[in-house]
Amino acid sequence: MTRARASIGVDRAVARARATTRTPPRRAAASTSRSDDAPRAVDDEDAEARRAKQRAHRKRNRARCRTRANERVDALLERFRALRPLERANDDGSWETVYAEEEEEDRDGGVDWDGLPRGADPFGTNKKGGRERGMRKRNQVMTFVKHLRALRGRREIKRCVDFGCGTGNVLMTCAATFPEIDFVGVDLNATSIEILNSRIRESGLTNVSAVVGLIEDGDTLGADCALALHVCGSATDRVLNSAVRARIPFVIAPCCVGKVQEGGMRSLNRMRNDLISLDKIEDIERPRSRLMRAAGFDFETYMSAATLADWSGHQGVDPSDPNEPLAALPRRAKSAIEADRGEFAREHAYDVTLHKMPAQSGIRDDVLVGIPI
């Protein structure tokens, strides 16, 4: 008994000793949590501060790069201007003279809006944007009527093709105004052509038709005049090329200049891929004219100018205001891109003029008019 009791006493003593050296589990966990949280919070704050600093640094770098690129484009635009693009014998050849605002004395553009058949007035067929958009479309259309009338005074025109005709705003008004001319609308979008064919039936006009197709198909349509209102990006250049190949006059109002870059509009590319074959793909050199290349523009700086030209302003800034300082460089870049296209046609023996649409026609208000010499 004595030996057993002694053994029990030793066991108890050992157990007490172990208990005094062991940290209670809950207290240890709590202590660990309190000691780790503070450094982790500090680390998170430091990491976020570093990221914010890096973001600000990258933003400053991008702004500096943009400024340098814009300064280079600005200097090249000045050199291009000094070469007197689209200079004409009957004026002083200055940029301001060539690119002057159009006179607004003929407010209706010579269009009998009240006398047009049903479905031929873009104001009456306007489905969105209300009265303001309807009036803007009228201004755009009457610009085409005006220039087509002037072309007819210099050359016989029997068949006009409207490339990228959409639902037919230009096509319908022109067909009603010039019943002696045959008009054909071509567009990638089958839905637009379906709507246009419905408008044609509603109007009762017999000198207008529409087909789903490509600009590249224009060579087979027997046109002796090419029209194009706001066909995006490279499509403008393809219309221009088609007209130059066929040696026919053109009236073109370019749109979305920045989309001349590879890719463009995905929706248009998908429709285009459904219709095009590899042998129709056209490589377009940029800049288009020898004159712009002589000014020092290469592909990269041309694309920088094209991106500037596609600027559409932001809140509180009107890109169409000639007195708006932020719009000055984009407006100059836009006019240079169009003058480059015009110079390309001049280099192929065309008489080319660059015009403005009337006020309230939208910011894509440039019009190139060309006729073979």
Segment 55-70 shows an average pLDDT of 83
Please compute the mean of the pLDDT values over residues 78-90 and round it to a whole number.
83
What dotted CATH number matches 108-372?
A: 3.40.50.150
| pLDDT of the residue at 58 | 86
Q: What is the mean pLDDT of residues 267-296?
A: 72
What's the whole-number mean pLDDT along residues 329-357? 93
Domain locations in the chain as residue ranges: 108-372
Decide if pLDDT at 299 tops 60. Answer: yes
**Does residue 271 have a pLDDT over 60?**
no
284-to-73, 235, 341, 348 alpha-carbon distances in Å: 21, 10, 11, 15
Least confident of 166-170, 229-233, 243-247, 255-259: 255-259
Question: What is the model's pLDDT at position 162?
Answer: 96
Q: Give me the pLDDT at residue 102, please.
A: 52
Q: Using 50, 70 and 90 to split pLDDT, how confident is the model at 175?
A: very high
Name the pTM for this structure. 0.77
Residue 2 binned pLDDT confidence (cut-offs 50, 70, 90): very low
Identify which has the larger pLDDT, 59 or 291. Answer: 291
pLDDT of residue 14: 47
Segment among 82-86, 102-106, 357-361 with least mean pLDDT: 102-106
Query: So what's the pLDDT on residue 312?
Result: 80
Quote the CA–CA distance of 154 and 165 in Å, as a whole number.
Answer: 25
Pick 176 or 315 by higher pLDDT.
Answer: 176
Across 74-83, average pLDDT: 94
Highest mean pLDDT among 68-77, 290-299, 322-331: 290-299
* Percentage of the residues of the chain whose pLDDT score is greater than 90: 43
Residue 10 has pLDDT above 50, yes or no: no
pLDDT at position 57 is 82
Which of 4-8, 99-103, 221-225 is most confident? 221-225
Taken in order 142, 167, 197, 264, is the CA torsion positive or negative?
Answer: positive
